[in-house]
């Protein structure tokens, strides 16, 4: 047998493989796993030039796969005003004014991460009347922590009006003054604003490149070796990943979905197919399409089967009429494309499942593995449909963590106690036979996978039906389950001979420490394709 380039030994290796779940060492050659076994077994492939890393009895896991991120929007996190800690509208004004003053060269004044309750007054968010007094010389765009609501100034509203032309009058989610009918500057749906924001903020700059480089560096520190990026607006966006690869600076593998735009219609299908053919290797893959069937409960844009608890008159409809959505999905499916649909509300989930079922009937069965992202609310009846349809529930445990203010302060009030207890039904979906894929939805939530694992097995203290799963199952959802969700389980997601050598050495053994300490665990070493891409200062192996 050929000698290994690298051996990680003396560890507690949880391989996530059913045939050999636990062992001690992993040998790597030419970027792939050569062998797993006991230290003595693996020692036979040790050669004179083999690099040896002593895990020192630490837990070794497959590299984490974050199955839902927005890394291509990282420039907003790293280069815009940070509104996450803002606790009042007055504080927000000060933060944004200071940021605008410090960055006179920015073509758009951006801010990200505000909490609804923190900056609203009398139940209203600040719009043009407030923001014009802070920024009047260029567009200003402040987006909420969940990415679904924006507070803007007059310059931005006018930019949207120019960009959309006649379509502006029918733009959904626009708050309007009840007296004049004019936009107030508050938008409760942002999906059609994103291209305008990107054009204003990124054009002619390297912000997207620098932001992506920085976030992938940060993800390597958390042991994330693959990301599923939901934020590509076009084929060109995937090229930002390719640039990092060409420069030898890509610290994660990427499965990238391009967002479907309703106004583009069938004309965008060619680009989706091109993405699949142009990017189809072990580092960058295309061919996935991101769709939206609804919004989020926080802004009353999620599609619900029953009325909102705090506002029974609020609309509960999906973004597309069901028959139109069926037609779109069937066309994508016919081309062999991978449909990835955002749905937070139980009505939205039902409409998406119906569309996926329709596609199978129209085009014939195949191993499509279409996905539904978030699945925060789903009826008991629809839980049972995921496995027969082969649909992947792609979920974010950290959304349900009680340390998130919106979860206990807003979310429970909006949907009511009964639906709250049945929300985020990881266990119910898993017990129905569905394959769970876990992720962070960064930057909406913390990228820390250990926080996600902790929440999945404890529910942050909230007890209800369908809630909580075991530790092994949570790890599987962050590894082999996420790999399965991108048709990559044969090459990653577990530590087995022939698979990509993506693995992490963990600071504490999750299986041996109290559950409450899991969220505080860190990564000691991250290995991507047999190369160390992160080493903590305290690791000496």
Q: Give the tens place of pLDDT for each residue, 479-522.
A: 999 999 999 999 999 999 999 999 999 999 999 999 999 999 99
132 and 16 in one domain? no
Are 164 and 305 within one domain? no
pLDDT-derived band at 403, boundaries 50, 70, 90: very low
Kindly state whether residue 198 falls inside one of the protein's structural domains.
no
Q: Work out the average pLDDT over 28-32.
A: 98
- CATH code, 362: 3.20.20.140
Based on the fold, state whether residues 518 and 416 are members of the same structural domain: no
- Taking a C-beta distance cutoff of 8 angstroms, is the pair 62, 45 a contact? no
Q: Work out the angle between the directed axes of helices 322-334 and 346-363 (0-180°, nearest 10).
A: 50
410 CB contacts (<8 Å, ≥6 apart)? 116, 117, 298
Query: Tokens representing 355?
Result: 């569309």
For range 1-27, the mean pLDDT:
96
* Gap between the Cα atoms of 482 and 439, Å rounded: 8
Residue 205 neighbours by CB under 8 Å, 6+ apart: none
Lowest mean pLDDT among 381-385, 403-407, 528-532: 403-407
Same domain, 362 and 268: yes
In a domain, 378, yes or no: yes
> Quick one: pLDDT at residue 95?
98
Distance of alpha carbon 58 from alpha carbon 54, whole angstroms: 9
- Residue 309 in this model has a pLDDT that exceeds 50: yes
Q: Give yes or no: residues 177 and 255 share one domain.
A: no
Query: Alpha-carbon distance 354 to 339, whole Å?
Result: 13
Among 327, 319, 317, residue whose Cα is nearest residue 265 = 327
Domain assignment present for residue 79? The answer is no
d(CA 81, CA 111): 4
Q: Find the domain containing 512 and state its range.
A: 6-62+498-535
pLDDT for residue 94 is more than 70: yes
Same-domain status, 324 and 452: yes
11, pLDDT greater than 70: yes
Given pLDDT bands bounded at 50, 70 and 90, which one contains residue 186? very high
H or E stretch at 505: strand 503-506
Sign of CA dihedral 443, 124, 309, 290: negative
| Rg, C-alpha atoms of the chain | 23
What's the pLDDT score for residue 364? 97
What is the mean predicted confidence (pLDDT) over 208-229? Answer: 97
pLDDT at 365 over 70: yes
Assign 3-state DSSP to the chain and report helix, strand, coil percentages, each to 5: 40, 20, 40
Q: Report yes or no on 222 lying in a domain.
A: yes
pLDDT at position 1: 73
Rounded distance, CA 501 to CA 66, Å? Answer: 17
CATH number for 169: 3.10.310
**In this structure, is residue 74 part of a structural domain?**
no
Write down the pLDDT at residue 462. Answer: 53
Q: Find out whether 143 and 75 touch, Cβ atoms under 8 Å.
A: no
pLDDT number for residue 460: 59
Inside any domain, residue 223: yes
Give the pLDDT confidence score for residue 252 in this predicted structure: 98
Phi, psi of 348 (to 5 degrees): -60, -45
Total domains, the chain: 3
Q: What is the DSSP letter of 504?
A: E
Tens-place pLDDT, residues 234-273: 999 999 999 999 999 999 999 999 999 998 988 899 999 9
**281/224 same-domain check:** yes
Q: Which residue has the higher pLDDT, 122 or 57?
A: 57
> Same domain, yes or no, for 268 and 415?
yes
CA 198 to chain CA mean position, Å: 19
Q: Are residues 301 and 371 in the same domain?
A: yes
In this predicted structure, the answer to whether residue 204 has a pLDDT above a threshold of 70 is no
221 occurs within a structural domain: yes
In a domain, 491, yes or no: no
Confidence of residue 464 (pLDDT cuts 50, 70, 90): low
Are 420 and 307 within one domain? yes
Query: Do residue 386 and residue 518 come from a single domain?
Result: no
Q: What is the pLDDT of residues 77-91, one digit of tens each?
A: 999 999 999 999 999
Q: What is the CATH number of the domain that holds 44?
A: 2.30.40.10
Are 137 and 278 contained in the same domain?
A: no
Cα of first residue to Cα of last residue in the chain, in angstroms, is 26
In 30-154, the DSSP E strands lie at: 32-37, 51-54, 59-62, 64-69, 81-82, 109-114, 140-144, 150-152
Per-residue pLDDT at 466 = 59
Secondary structure element (H or E) that encloses residue 371, with its range:
strand 371-374
Q: What is the pTM of this model?
A: 0.95
């Amino acid at each position: 047998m050929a000698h290994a380039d690298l051996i990680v030994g003396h560890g507690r290796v949880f391989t996530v493989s059913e045939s050999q779940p636990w062992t001690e060492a992993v040998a790597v050659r030419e970027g792939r796993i050569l062998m797993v076994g006991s230290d003595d077994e693996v020692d036979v492939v040790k050669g004179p030039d083999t690099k040896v890393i002593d895990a020192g009895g630490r837990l070794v896991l497959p590299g984490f796969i974050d199955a839902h991120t927005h890394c291509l929007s990282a420039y907003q996190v790293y280069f815009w005003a940070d509104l996450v800690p803002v606790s009042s509208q007055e504080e927000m004004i000060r933060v944004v004014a200071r940021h605008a003053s410090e960055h006179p060269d920015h073509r758009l004044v951006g801010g990200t991460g505000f909490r609804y309750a923190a900056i609203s007054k009398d139940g209203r968010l600040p719009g043009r009347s407030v923001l014009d007094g802070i920024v009047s010389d260029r567009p200003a765009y402040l987006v909420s922590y969940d990415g679904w609501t924006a507070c803007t100034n007059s310059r931005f509203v006018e930019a949207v009006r120019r960009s959309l032309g006649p379509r502006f009058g029918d733009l959904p989610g626009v708050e309007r003054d009840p007296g004049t009918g004019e936009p107030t500057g508050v938008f409760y749906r942002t999906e059609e604003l994103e291209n305008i924001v990107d054009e204003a903020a990124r054009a002619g700059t390297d912000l997207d490149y620098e932001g992506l480089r920085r976030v992938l560096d940060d993800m390597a520190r958390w042991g994330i070796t693959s990301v599923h990026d939901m934020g590509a607006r076009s084929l060109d966006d995937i090229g930002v990943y390719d640039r990092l690869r060409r420069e030898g600076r890509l610290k994660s593998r990427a499965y990238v979905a391009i967002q479907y735009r309703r106004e583009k219609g069938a004309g965008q299908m060619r680009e989706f197919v091109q993405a699949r053919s142009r990017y189809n290797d072990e580092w960058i893959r295309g061919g996935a399409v991101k769709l939206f069937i609804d919004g989020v409960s926080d802004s009353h844009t999620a599609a619900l089967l029953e009325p909102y608890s705090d506002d029974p008159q609020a609309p509960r409809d999906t973004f597309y009429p069901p028959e139109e959505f069926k037609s779109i999905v069937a066309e994508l499916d016919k081309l062999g494309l991978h449909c990835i649909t955002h749905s937070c509300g139980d009505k939205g989930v039902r409409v998406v499942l119906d569309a996926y079922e329709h596609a199978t009937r129209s085009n014939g069965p195949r191993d499509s593995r279409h996905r539904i992202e978030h699945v925060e609310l789903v009826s008991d009846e629809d839980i049972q449909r995921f496995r027969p349809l082969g649909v992947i529930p792609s979920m974010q445990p950290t959304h349900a963590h009680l340390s998130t203010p919106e979860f206990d302060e807003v979310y429970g009030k909006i949907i009511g106690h009964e639906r709250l207890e049945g929300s985020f039904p990881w266990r119910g979906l898993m017990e129905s036979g569905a394959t769970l894929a876990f992720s962070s939805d960064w930057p909406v939530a913390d990228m820390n996978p250990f926080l996600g694992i902790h929440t999945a097995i404890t529910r942050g203290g909230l007890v209800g039906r369908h809630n909580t799963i075991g530790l092994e199952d949570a790890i599987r959802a962050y590894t082999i389950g996420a790999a399965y969700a991108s048709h990559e389980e044969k090459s990653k997601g577990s530590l087995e001979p022939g698979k990509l050598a993506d693995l992490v050495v963990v600071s504490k053994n999750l299986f041996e420490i109290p559950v409450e300490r899991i969220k505080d665990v860190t990564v000691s070493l991250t290995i991507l394709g047999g190369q160390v891409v992160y080493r903590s200062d305290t690791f000496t192996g």
